[in-house]
Amino acid sequence: MGRTLTAKIIAAHLVSGSLTPGTEIGIGIDQTLTQDSTGTMAYLQFEAMGVPRVKTKLSVAYADHNTLQCGFENADDHRYIETVAVRHGVVFSKPGNGICHQVHLERFGRPGWTLLGSDSHTPTAGGLGMLAMGAGGLDVAVAMAGGAYYLTMPRVCRVELVGTLPPWVAAKDIILELLRRLTVKGGVGRIFEYGGPGAAALSVPERATITNMGAELGATTSIFPSDAQTKAFLTAQRRGCEWAPLAADPDAGYDETVTIDLGKLEPLVAAPHSPDSVMPVSAAAGTRVDQVAIGSCTNSSFSDLYKVAKILEGKRVDPSVSLVIAPGSRQVLGMLADSGALGALIRAGARILECACGPCIGMGQAPRSGGVSLRTFNRNFPGRSGTPDAGVYLASPEVAAVSALTGMITDPRHCGEPPVAVGDDDAGRNGSDNMFIFPPPAGQAGEVVRGPNIKPFPRAERPPAELEATVLLKAGDNITTDDIMPSHAGLLPFRSNIPHLAGYCFTGLDAVFPARAKAAGGGVIVAGTNYGQGSSREHAALAPLYLGIKAVLAKSFARIHRANLLNFGILPLVFADPADYDALSQGELLTIGALGDKLAAGAAIGARTSAGKAVSLKLELTPREREIILAGGLLNLVGKGGVANA
Sheet containing strand 351-352, strands side by side: 278-280, 268-270, 391-394, 372-375, 291-294, 322-325, 351-352
Closer residue to ligand SF4 (CB): 87 or 375: 375
In the complex, the smallest distance separating the C-beta of residue 418 from ligand SF4, rounded to whole angstroms, is: 25
Where do the DSSP E strands lie in 87-164?
91-93, 114-117, 131-134, 149-152, 155-162
Distance of CA 187 to the CA centre of its chain: 14
99 binds ligand SF4 (CB under 6 A): yes
By CB under 6 A, which span of 66-74, 128-136, 152-160, 355-363 interacts with ligand SF4?
A: 355-363
Cβ atoms of residues 14 and 26 within 8 Å: yes
Q: How far is the CB of 100 from ligand SF4 (least distance, A)?
A: 6
Interface positions, 353-382, toward ligand MIC (CB under 6 A): 361, 379
Question: In the complex with ligand SF4, which residue's Cβ is closer, 474 or 488?
Answer: 488
- Please report whether residue 4 would count as binding ligand MIC according to CB under 6 A: no
Q: Which of 484, 488, 478 is nearest to 564 (CA)?
A: 484
Identity of the residue, 106 or 119, whose beta carbon is nearer to ligand MIC in the bound complex: 119
Q: Which does 38 bind (CB under 5 to 8 A by kind): ligand MIC, ligand SF4, none?
A: ligand MIC
* DSSP H or E run through 599: helix 595-601
Instruction: Give the integer Cα–Cα distance in Å for 516 and 381.
Output: 25
Distance set, CA 61 to CA 35, 331, 381 (Å):
6, 18, 27
Tell me if 300 contacts ligand MIC by CB under 6 A: no
Among 74, 229, 296, 567, binds ligand SF4 (CB under 6 A): 296
* Interacting span for ligand MIC (CB under 6 A) from 118-126, 205-213, 450-458, 510-518: 118-126
Of positions 30, 76, 77, 119, contacts ligand MIC by CB under 6 A: 119
Provide the terminal-to-terminal Cα distance of the chain, rounded to the nearest Å.
33
How many residues bind ligand MIC, per CB under 6 A? 14
Gap between the Cα atoms of 316 and 337, Å rounded: 19
CB of 359 to ligand SF4, least distance (A): 9
Nearest distance from residue 375's CB to ligand MIC, in Å?
12
88, 121, 375, 624: which one binds ligand SF4 (CB under 6 A):
121
Contact region for ligand SF4 (CB under 6 A) — 356-364, 448-456, 497-505, 559-567? Answer: 356-364
Cα 643 to Cα 646: distance, rounded to the nearest angstrom = 5
Q: Are 432 and 330 in contact (CB under 8 A)?
A: yes
| Prior bond of 561 cis (ω within 30°) | no
Q: Which is nearer to ligand MIC, 297 or 592 (CB)?
A: 297
Q: Does 38 bind ligand MIC (CB under 6 A)?
A: yes
**Interaction pattern, residues 360-399, with ligand SF4; x per rule: CB under 6 A:** xx----------------x---------------------
Check if the beta carbon of residue 465 is closer than 8 Å to that of residue 126: no
Answer for which of 30, 73, 77, 119 binds ligand SF4 (CB under 6 A) is 119
The yes or no reply on residue 487 touching ligand MIC (CB under 6 A) is yes
- E strand spans, 65-142: 91-93, 114-117, 131-134
Segment 137 to 156, residues that bind ligand MIC, using CB under 6 A: none
Comparing CB distances to ligand SF4, the nearer of 104 and 158 is 104
The rounded distance, in Å, linking the Cα atoms of 403 and 406 is: 5
CA angle 91, 93, 96 (to 5 degrees): 175
Query: What does 487 bind: ligand MIC, ligand SF4, none (CB cut-off 5 to 8 Å by kind)?
Result: ligand MIC
CA–CA distance, 557 with 572 (Å, rounded to integer):
8
Q: Indicate which single residue of 235, 535, 564, 567 sits in contact with ligand MIC (rule: CB under 6 A).
A: 535
Q: Which helix (H) or strand (E) holds 82?
A: helix 72-87
Q: Does 297 bind ligand SF4 (CB under 6 A)?
A: yes
Residue 70's region, left for phi above 0, alpha for psi from -120 to 50, else beta, is: alpha
For ligand MIC, give the closer residue by CB, 501 or 599: 501
List strand residue ranges (DSSP E) for 64-130, in order. 91-93, 114-117
**Measured from the CB of residue 554, what is the shortest distance to ligand SF4 in angstroms?**
24
296 binds, among ligand MIC, ligand SF4, none (CB under 5 to 8 A by kind): ligand SF4
- Select the binding partner of residue 584 from ligand MIC, ligand SF4, none (C-beta < 5 to 8 A, by kind): none
Buried b (16+ CB within 10 A) or exposed e, 374-410: bbbbbbbbbbbbbbeebbbbbbbbbbbbbbbbbbbbb
Judge contact between 633 and 568, C-beta under 8 A: yes
Residue 65 binds to ligand SF4 (criterion: CB under 6 A): yes
Residue 99's binding partner out of ligand MIC, ligand SF4, none, with CB under 5 to 8 Å set by partner kind: ligand SF4
Residues that bind ligand SF4 (CB under 6 A): 65, 99, 119, 121, 296-297, 357, 360-361, 378
Residues that bind ligand MIC (CB under 6 A): 37-38, 65, 119-121, 134, 361, 379, 487, 534-537
